[in-house]
């Protein structure tokens, strides 16, 4: 597949599994402010395609960027790294 090395992978927490074959994954990144150097926490919520409906709320998952699958969904679930307890 062309451009396979350019696909981004993110690790995050599943915060919603209410939709069919879709999970909402919350990814948090901490990076310093460019001028003031204070560590800022940024959170982004990604909609990811989950073909078998395997992920549940609280799971830590790995998602990979892909072509747009719908209006908001451009990520695929690769694997569930850790199950919720």
Domain at 17-82, CATH homologous superfamily = Nucleic acid-binding proteins (2.40.50.140)
pLDDT for 2 equals: 58
pLDDT for 5 equals: 67
pTM (2 d.p.):
0.86
Which single residue is written with the structure tokens 């599994």? 17
Give me the percent of the chain exceeding a pLDDT of 70.
94
Asked if pLDDT for residue 84 goes beyond 80, the answer is yes
pLDDT for 60 equals: 97
77 contacts 55 by C-beta, under 8 angstroms: yes
pLDDT for 58 equals: 97
Ranges of each domain in the chain: 17-82
Convert the pLDDT of each residue in 29-53 to its tens digit: 999 999 999 999 999 999 999 999 9
Neighbours of 44 (CB within 10 A): 11
Using CA atoms, how far apart are residues 83 and 76, in angstroms rounded to an integer? 18
Using CA atoms, how far apart are residues 12 and 65, in angstroms rounded to an integer? 13
Length of the chain: 85
């Amino acid at each position: 597949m062309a451009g396979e090395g350019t696909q981004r992978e993110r690790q995050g927490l599943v915060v919603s599994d209410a939709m069919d074959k879709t999970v909402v994954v919350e990814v948090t990144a901490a990076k310093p402010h460019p001028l003031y150097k204070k560590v800022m926490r940024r959170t982004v919520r990604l909609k990811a395609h989950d073909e078998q409906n395997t992920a549940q709320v609280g799971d830590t998952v790995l998602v990979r960027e892909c072509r747009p699958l719908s209006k908001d969904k451009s990520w695929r679930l690769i694997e569930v790294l850790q199950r919720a307890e």
